[in-house]
Structure 1
Amino acid sequence: MSQDYSYFGFSYINRNAENDAKNTTALNNAADISVIVVYFLVVLAVGVWSMVHTNRSTVGGFFLAGRSMVWWPIGASLFASNIGSVHFVGIAGTGAASGIAIGGFEWNALFAIVILGWIFVPIYIRAGIITMPEYLKKRFGGQRICIYLSLLSLVLYVFTKISADIFSGAIFIQQAFGLNIYLAVIALLAITALYTVTGGLAAVIYTDTLQTFIMLIGSFILMGFAFNEVKGYENFEKLYMQAIPSITGNISANCYEPRPDSFHLFRDPVTGDLPWPGLVFGLTIQCIWYFCTDQVIVQRCLSAKSLSHVKGGCILCGYLKILPMFLMVFPGMISRILYTDVVACVDPDECEKHCGTRVGCSNIAYPKLVVELMPKGLRGLMLSVMLASLMSSLTSIFNSASTLFTMDIYTRIRRSASEKELMIAGRVFILALIGVSIAWIPVVQAAQSGQLFVYTQSITSYLAPPVAAVFLLAIFCKRVNETGAFYGLIIGLCMGLSRMITEFIYGTGSCAIPSNCPTIICGVHYLYFGLILFVISGIVMLAVSLMTKPIDDKHLYRLCWSLRNCTEERVDLEMDDWTDNQDSNSVDSDDDEPGFLKKAVMCFCGLETKKAPKLTKEEEEELQRKLTDTSEVPLWRNVVNINAVILLCVAVFCHAYFG
């Protein structure tokens, strides 16, 4: 028998000798260890290379990679930033539990990615912004919307993205290797912070590119092993519908039998677990928020050297987003076929025996497949894939959250901060996020319920739709003003929090143990709720704006779609206080030559002072013109446009074929 041990309140399983001999549940062979060590050495080498070859000593260099990135690392970074360990664990687990509909979350994003590259990013570039709250400040003026969005984004980062990624990565480590979760996650976060703090966005993008390559190789290999076990796709469909656990107790058959619509994307609008109107309309709102207004994603696009490279990166990311259905959802479903009594367990005692939780073990579908199917060496590669996806998502979140804090919050606390001080503040905030993330681990583990992906998506549905509404109206309706936008956001926030807090109080329950949450509050599917929230928030924004004074066009040049091509000089509603003061404070008052130790630390963290000749007014105007230039070479504009049409056709075909 295996024995349970506990350290710092975290349990892990000490595998018995028989399992160790099979090398299926412990990292105890030279091949696996060697692969992982080589992987980390390569990642650190890429991070060091990006430190040496990129400019990290300015705001633009650290946060936007000097706006010098080309399309292929941008596309790879967009994909890697989006696809984290929560997808390998959460999406594969949901696929094991209910079929392919969860893959629609990935394919729906193809439309939002095209909208990002062709509509939103051109406006952001012309506006000359670094962060999303900064755009809203230029568009509406005032401080409260900017501060609201910055704080909401940081809350969403901590309680959905960071917590979900860490928890899903911890599930993989615990199930596959029997390691102490707490120490493993701390080490992982430490390495992640190392090249994020030191390298800036360029390091994040280059390491994302490497890790995308690793993820795809490992996932394709595992998919091949999995389909080989079930003898092809047709047999896979038949066997999945027969994957019923042997121990069911007195629980209803609906809780453990595969759904009749398991191989359909579009499900009943009333009884479906993912109703098709919610998948088509409600999910689209989430995708627009995530891909078009979220700092993590948009920041990568703003680092591109031209608009054509932005669009090319979006196209590459879109093609890669077709793969998760085949690389994650299908293998998760095959895991249910091969290990039915474990992955599809429904009896609480059986589930607790297999994975430590009484509400289901579908989350271990992908780790179980890795442990049981992969040979030595390749198992180490798959751990590298999981670590790569986890670290990729975390580095993206840490860097983007640091940008939000530094540019939108810290500059209000320290209005006369020098550029070096902003760089230090950004890096220190990353370290603070590490601390918060570690402190949140016990909370996430205690909340384990087998509904990880539903948890993250539902939280997003409760908080994000008003933000999507304000960005869409900001770009497409110049009549919307600050007052309307603010009250729409606040009313939307109150509605979302009322649903979210109620669910936290009553719990979401499970098929076997339903929640007691009042139907009038929790009875509406979270995708429907997000759609309703979006509509109500938008109506409030429009209504209040129409009853109050409009914003003059002179303040909106190149900030709205209808005024995107205006060449007149824009009069900002409020000048940025930091911009006004940076020239007089950006040079360190201490002109003494730093010592060797200080110089080494400054170089490592990208804080070295580089004295550049002061630009003339004409040179500054030319630099600003280049940074806000959205012109494209006709040939490449046609190439990316044709690829966008092809991508959208592929998306429609996938939905129709599996619908």
Structure 2
Amino acid sequence: MEFPLIGGSLVDTAVVAVYIVFLISVAWLVSREKGGRQKNTQDYFLAGHGLPWWAVGASLIAANISAEQIIGMSGSGYAIGLAIASYEWMAAITLIIVGKYFLPVFISRRIYTMPQFLQQRYDHRVKTILAVFWLGVYVFVNLTAILWLGALTIHTIAGVELVYGMVFLVALALAYSLYGGLKAVALTDVIQVVLLIFGGLVLSWIALDLIGEGRGVATGFNVLLERAPEKFDMILSRDNPHYASLPGISVLVGGMWVMNLSYWGFNQYIIQRALAAKDLREGQKGIVFAAYLKLLMPLIVVLPGIAAVVLLPDLARADQAYPALMNLMPAGLKGLIFAALIAAIVSSLGSMVNSIATIFTMDLYAHRHPSHSEAHYVTIGRIAGLVALLLAAVCARPLLGNFDQAFQYIQEFTGFFTPGIVVLCLLGIFWPLATANGALVAAVSSAALSLVLKFTWPELPFIDRVGLVFLCCLALAVITSLLQSSAKENPAAHTPAPIKGSDASWEAGFATDQTFNLAGLGVVLLLVALYATWW
């Protein structure tokens, strides 16, 4: 097999090769332990609790923005338009909520994982069920999506067969993240986010300039508005063919809140970065930094898809928009943008693999094998990460090969389970009377009710379904917990105890400093301005 050149250009291929060598070198450099010291579980899974705010914020975005985000959301931008940016813009205000109300509780509990939090708050049953669920979703939904869409991009741009593209991504993720753990992932994420944002903005800039026929970005944007005005509706009307995906005003007041709170607040893959911060204030500053970066993301992940409607109107599949647009870029810049895309893919792969390793090792393996050394658990984590990547690579084509908009597939699938997860986590934080049985009822009811509504009310938009199931699960969990409260049961079972060996109590303070408060207000005002402009 001949060595593929990116877009047939040696310059582009050299740019990507230099980036890959640089990435791996930096990852190994920051992963080295001084004096031959071996990594312990805190080093490997939580970066030794040493991440500064800028690394926390950058890593949150790098973990979030990957192939399914760039390729998938650009595809949805091509098919739906700017309305899909609600996932990005509403995530910004969700991050502020997470920083103010959720993170203080998690850090006061000194947890490694979200299942560990659920065990402390409820019991071992809740922890085990949710740990197994999250592992399944991470391997068979998230990892498969990242690998498949990443390989699809490599195939479109460089002509590499899909299977070889996935092998390349697996090898690169293993080379840069498996040894170093979260520290290697988070610190290299800073570099990757800079490259990602710069490359994405360059792509959008050139695409708009092409639409304006060389008369500048402003002209190109105005032409785009004139030629594709339907793509700039933030709130879709009922007669819009994509109303089922983004059902009008429900996007602002309904189920998308549930999806966002689940993803940004209770998702190990994301929250692990904040748990690794030096302290609570550093974690909160990192979350604010990430919130402002999220406001910028539609320029990088949605606008290119809308621009492709004018530049490439006859694409066979919506998810081809971003890769096909890259092929219009000049030599050199195409390599830079491709390197940025690779950066997004491998950073998300590394983050996901580390989270899988953390949950498997700390929540499942260590519970059954409690007497092993720290080095042993780190080794088990590395093995778990390797197995997860290989499983995802094998399952990627069968699971995702037939979907036109992979991003929407991911949202719909996870929407079956997130209502129950959000219910049991919110009640666990804010309602001391919530019981383990109430949490289990919420988790089981979420999947059952979602399936029933999916087949008995198929015209109900999935975001509305998520909101409705959330309300039902909330009611069931509250009723179950209250019934237990009146039964013959030890009242102490309802109220979580402080962590042994520390003075951390359940009533973690929610007060935030003035900088955080002003930054949060700024996010709200910017969101109001954006929605007022594109309503």
TM-score (norm 2): 0.91
CA contact (8 A) 1:91 1:453 kept: yes
Instruction: Report the alpha carbon displacement of residue 64 of structure 1 after superposing the two structures with TM.
Output: 0.8
Matched with 2:179 is 198
CA contact (8 A) 2:178 2:350 kept: no
Instruction: Report the alpha carbon displacement of residue 201 of structure 1 after superposing the two structures with TM.
Output: 0.6
Matched with 2:450 is 496
2:479 is aligned with 1:543: yes
Matched with 1:279 is 251
Matched with 1:99 is 81
Matched with 1:371 is 327
Give 1:208-607 correspondences, 5 Å limit: 208-231=189-212, 232-233=217-218, 236=221, 238-239=223-224, 242=227, 261-268=230-237, 272-273=243-244, 274-280=246-252, 281-341=254-314, 343=315, 351=316, 361-372=317-328, 374-447=329-402, 449-497=403-451, 520-549=456-485, 570=498
Larger Rg: 1
CA contact (8 A) 1:88 1:328 kept: yes
- Counterpart amino acid of 1:421? H
Higher share of residues assigned helix: 2
Identity of aligned residues (%): 26
Structure 2 gap ranges (5+): none
- Separation in 1, partners of 2:16, 2:479: 57
- Separation in 2, partners of 1:626, 1:42: 42
- Separation in 1, partners of 2:25, 2:81: 40
Instruction: Report the alpha carbon displacement of residue 429 of structure 1 after superposing the two structures with TM.
Output: 0.4
CA contact (8 A) 1:214 1:385 kept: yes
CA contact (8 A) 1:125 1:629 kept: no
Task: Give 1:88's match in structure 2, choosing from 39, 50, 70.
Answer: 70
Size of the alignment, in residue pairs? Answer: 522
CA contact (8 A) 2:434 2:494 kept: no
CA deviations on 1:414-451 (whole Å, 9 max, x unpaired) are 2333322211111110111021011112314532x312
Instruction: Report the alpha carbon displacement of residue 648 of structure 1 after superposing the two structures with TM.
Output: 2.0
CA contact (8 A) 1:308 1:640 kept: no
SS in 2 for 1:417: coil
Instruction: Report the alpha carbon displacement of residue 56 of structure 1 after superposing the two structures with TM.
Output: 6.1
Higher relative contact order (CA 8 A, sep 6+): 2
Instruction: Report the alpha carbon displacement of residue 556 of structure 1 after superposing the two structures with TM.
Output: 7.4
Shift of the 627–308 alpha-carbon distance from structure 1 to 2, 3 Å rule, reads: farther
Shift of the 177–72 alpha-carbon distance from structure 1 to 2, 3 Å rule, reads: same
Shift of the 408–498 alpha-carbon distance from structure 1 to 2, 3 Å rule, reads: farther
Shift of the 628–136 alpha-carbon distance from structure 1 to 2, 3 Å rule, reads: closer
- Counterpart amino acid of 1:93? G
Structure 1 gap ranges (5+): 1-6, 8-13, 15-19, 243-257, 344-350, 352-360, 501-517, 560-568, 573-620
Instruction: Report the alpha carbon displacement of residue 366 of structure 1 after superposing the two structures with TM.
Output: 1.0
- Separation in 1, partners of 2:32, 2:499: 39
- Separation in 2, partners of 1:549, 1:151: 28
SS in 2 for 1:129: coil
Instruction: Report the alpha carbon displacement of residue 239 of structure 1 after superposing the two structures with TM.
Output: 4.4
Q: CA RMSD in A?
A: 2.7
Instruction: Report the alpha carbon displacement of residue 138 of structure 1 after superposing the two structures with TM.
Output: 0.7
Matched with 2:54 is 72
Matched with 1:650 is 526
CA deviations on 1:283-342 (whole Å, 9 max, x unpaired) are 11000000000001111001111111111111110111011221221121111101212x
Give 1:155-170 correspondences, 5 Å limit: 155-170=136-151
SS in 1 for 2:28: helix
Shift of the 219–76 alpha-carbon distance from structure 1 to 2, 3 Å rule, reads: same
Shift of the 370–440 alpha-carbon distance from structure 1 to 2, 3 Å rule, reads: same
Shift of the 90–494 alpha-carbon distance from structure 1 to 2, 3 Å rule, reads: same
- Separation in 1, partners of 2:365, 2:192: 32
SS in 1 for 2:99: helix
SS in 2 for 1:266: coil
Task: Give 1:43's match in structure 2, choosing from 3, 23, 30.
Answer: 23
Shift of the 625–69 alpha-carbon distance from structure 1 to 2, 3 Å rule, reads: farther
Matched with 1:122 is 104
CA deviations on 1:136-194 (whole Å, 9 max, x unpaired) are 111112x2111111111111112321111112112211111111221121121112022
